[in-house]
Amino acid sequence: MTSIAIATRRGTSGPSADAAATYTSPSTGRTAAAVVDGMGHGEDIVRLAPMLAETAVRVGAVNGALAGLLSAGLLVRDPGPDGVGVLAVGREDGSAELVWAGDCRAWRWDGEQLHHLTTDHNLAAYLTRAARDNRGQGEVPVAALADYVGITLGLATPATAPYISVPAGGLLLLTSDGVHDQVPADEIEALVRKLHDRPQALAESLVAAARPGFQGERDDATALVITV
């Protein structure tokens, strides 16, 4: 990872429970980057979200992406506040390890096309996959189903936290749902195509592009852009 740009915007429901963090380990030389989306806007999760992101990157840069994600999950293992997150950890060859729990997303720009790398752990994504398996097409029309998250940081285990390898080169994007739920994928790709050589401008543009809901409400929105 040669550079990392971060942008975030508070939503309309209270203090922001989004957080992003990066860390480079002096011992391994590996850099980790994470986006965390705390569930709700209560005092506890607003305080914890930056701690979750910081724990993920500090452990991940030393011990690997899965260890980083699960270590963050230990902070919310008791009943109470919880969250979702995505963590990327760079390797010496320029590739990266990627793990996630919940509905934060990762995307890769290979210089020509934007690829969505993650699968949301929520009811909307599950039913959409089922609909496509049965009929070969279709999207679940009830957006509210996206609020039913099946795997969170507090519930993540080695068996339920997906792990993928991301090739070297291009850009890696991490987003909270306040970005990708409110910005269509084709618009995200258009912004990446236009601003891929200006990572900070791209992160800020992704956050700014998030549209308000029907009643003017906006979720917290965070984008992290990694040059790999």
The whole-number pLDDT of residue 148 equals: 62
Flag whether 25 is in a domain: yes
Tokens of 33: 């980057």
Q: What contacts 30, CB < 8 A, 6 or more positions away?
A: 24, 61, 62, 89, 90, 91, 92
Q: What is the CATH number of the domain that holds 107?
A: 3.60.40.10
Q: Give the structural domain span for 78.
A: 3-118+151-227
What is the rounded CA–CA span in Å between residue 226 and residue 132?
Answer: 32
* Ranges under pLDDT 50 in the chain: 127, 130-131, 133, 140-142, 145
The whole-number pLDDT of residue 142 equals: 47
Please tell me the pTM assigned to this model.
Answer: 0.89
Flag whether 126 is in a domain: no
Flag whether 191 is in a domain: yes
Q: How many domains does the chain have?
A: 1
Flag whether 36 is in a domain: yes
The whole-number pLDDT of residue 125 equals: 57
Flag whether 129 is in a domain: no
The whole-number pLDDT of residue 143 equals: 53
